[in-house]
Amino acid sequence: MAKGYWVSVYPAISDPEELTAYNKLAGPAVRAGGGRVLSNFGRVVAHEAGIAERVVLIEFDTFEQAVAAYESEAYRQALTALPHGFQRDFRIIEGID
């Protein structure tokens, strides 16, 4: 089975402290769902239409596991903690074996 990945790109973060409540809930929810954080807060070099802002990459053993983790009650609670008006480009993608 192909691995699954969460890819989150944050177009702009004016106040990183606003993410504190979300991060406290999201980390345990991701780990409980079998996710492993591969990239978070690292350096970014953007090309073409890219934005040099925070990118988060999380790996799961399967695509189905990645979808299930997003739909879990624990992660739904984390989503409610995202600040009002906060923007991110979030995708769940299937890897290549």
CA-CA distance, 20 to 18, in Å (whole number)? 6
In Å, the largest CA–CA distance within the chain is: 39
Q: Which residues pair with 9 in a beta bridge?
A: 55, 89
User: What are 20-75's pLDDT values in tens digits?
Assistant: 889 999 999 999 999 999 998 788 898 998 888 888 999 999 999 999 999 999 99
Extents of the domains making up the chain? 4-94
Closest CA to 35 of 97, 96, 92: 92
Q: What is the CA radius of gyration of the chain?
A: 13
pLDDT of residue 84: 78
Q: Which CATH number is associated with domain 4-94?
A: 3.30.70.100
Question: Encoding tokens for residue 15?
Answer: 């106040």
**Above 90 in pLDDT, residue 12?**
no
